């Protein structure tokens, strides 16, 4: 479980100004992440590529659902400049889901990874990818760029996918993680669960088992907070004891690194997880 360091609001505002100047999006802002002040105050951010408009309709997500804009070829270089200014050594790159693109945006992920690694010695890059509608060749494109962690979130239990993850399929998400291990077995895989949609503890444990069955290495589990009354309602708030029990079960199943807690999100303290996972 994580404690919260002192939040430096002046640095958080500086990060926001930098992102606006560079015309970059972050999942931190778009999803109304509860850790935004803490992470921005520590001069870290999860960059969201391919615009801020999603082609899916997940009922828990606050990202805009509109017709996407064209792919910005200069985006990887603007991320590079922002990473330099922020002095980051670990970068997380995610995206909106772009079902309108033939490759789902895989080439843009690969460009971002390559631009960072070719220009910043020793930088580590984690990619948090969509499911690419199950296209193995898109996953291969991303992994060929040599990211340091391949992250794909299952988000919830299979029973709730039709209500929570509209347009996604649980089996397809598991297959992405399984394929990643087949294509690049040396690259750690990571996934996340958000709790509070009406799942049972038994269903949560089954998802943990499923993730381990496809070789998933790292896991994050957090509490869902509805962004507005229009989003999926919160049906349960989990206690600290329940999060600790889920963490215990996850470690017993063989995950190398687990972060569980109400405000934990997929890329929260990602570098810390990377280091601890590699030292285990």
pLDDT digits (tens, 9 = 90+) for 53-99: 888 878 777 777 778 889 999 999 999 998 888 888 888 999 999 99
Average pLDDT, the chain: 86
Q: Has residue 31 got a pLDDT over 60?
A: no
The answer to whether the beta carbons of residues 187 and 149 sit under 8 Å apart is yes
Return the pLDDT at 21: 62
| pTM, rounded to two decimals | 0.87
pLDDT digits (tens, 9 = 90+) for 123-163: 999 999 999 999 999 999 999 999 999 999 999 999 999 99
Select the more confidently predicted residue: 129 or 32.
Answer: 129
Return the pLDDT at 276: 73
List of residues 6+ apart from 73 with CB closer than 8 A: none
The percentage of residues in the chain with a pLDDT greater than 70, rounded to a whole number, is: 82
Tokens linked to 178: 């399984």
pLDDT digits (tens, 9 = 90+) for 213-228: 999 999 999 999 988 8
List of residues 6+ apart from 260 with CB closer than 8 A: 1, 220, 221, 222, 243, 244, 246, 247, 250
Return the pLDDT at 2: 34
Domains assigned to the chain: 9-279 (3.20.20.70)
Return the pLDDT at 9: 44
Q: Which residue has the tokens 């291990």?
A: 181
């Amino acid at each position: 479980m994580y404690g919260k360091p002192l939040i430096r609001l002046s640095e958080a505002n500086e990060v926001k100004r930098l992102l606006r100047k560079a015309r970059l999006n972050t999942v931190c802002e778009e999803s109304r992440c509860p850790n935004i002040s803490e992470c921005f105050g520590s001069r870290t951010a999860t960059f969201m590529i391919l615009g801020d408009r999603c082609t899916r309709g997940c009922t828990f997500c606050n990202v805009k659902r509109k017709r996407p804009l064209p792919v910005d070829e200069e985006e990887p270089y603007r991320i590079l400049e922002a990473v330099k200014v922020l002095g980051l050594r670990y970068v997380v790159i995610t995206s909106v889901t772009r079902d309108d693109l033939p490759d789902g945006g895989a080439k843009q992920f690969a460009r971002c990874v390559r631009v960072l690694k070719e220009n910043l010695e020793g930088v580590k890059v984690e990619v948090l990818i969509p499911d690419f509608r199950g296209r193995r060749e898109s996953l291969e494109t991303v992994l060929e760029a040599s990211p340091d962690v391949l992250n794909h979130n299952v988000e919830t239990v299979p029973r709730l996918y039709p209500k929570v993850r509209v347009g996604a399929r649980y089996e397809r998400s598991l297959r992405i993680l399984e394929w990643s291990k087949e294509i690049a077995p040396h690259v750690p895989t990571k996934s996340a669960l958000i709790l509070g949609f009406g799942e049972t503890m038994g269903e949560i444990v089954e998802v943990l088992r499923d993730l381990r069955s496809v070789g998933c290495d790292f896991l994050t589990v957090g509490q869902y907070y509805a962004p507005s009354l229009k989003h999926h309602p919160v049906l349960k708030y989990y206690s600290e004891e329940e999060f600790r029990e889920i963490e215990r079960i996850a470690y017993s199943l063989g995950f190398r690194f687990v972060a569980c807690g109400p405000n934990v999100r997929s890329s929260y303290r990602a570098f810390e997880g990377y280091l601890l996972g590699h030292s285990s």
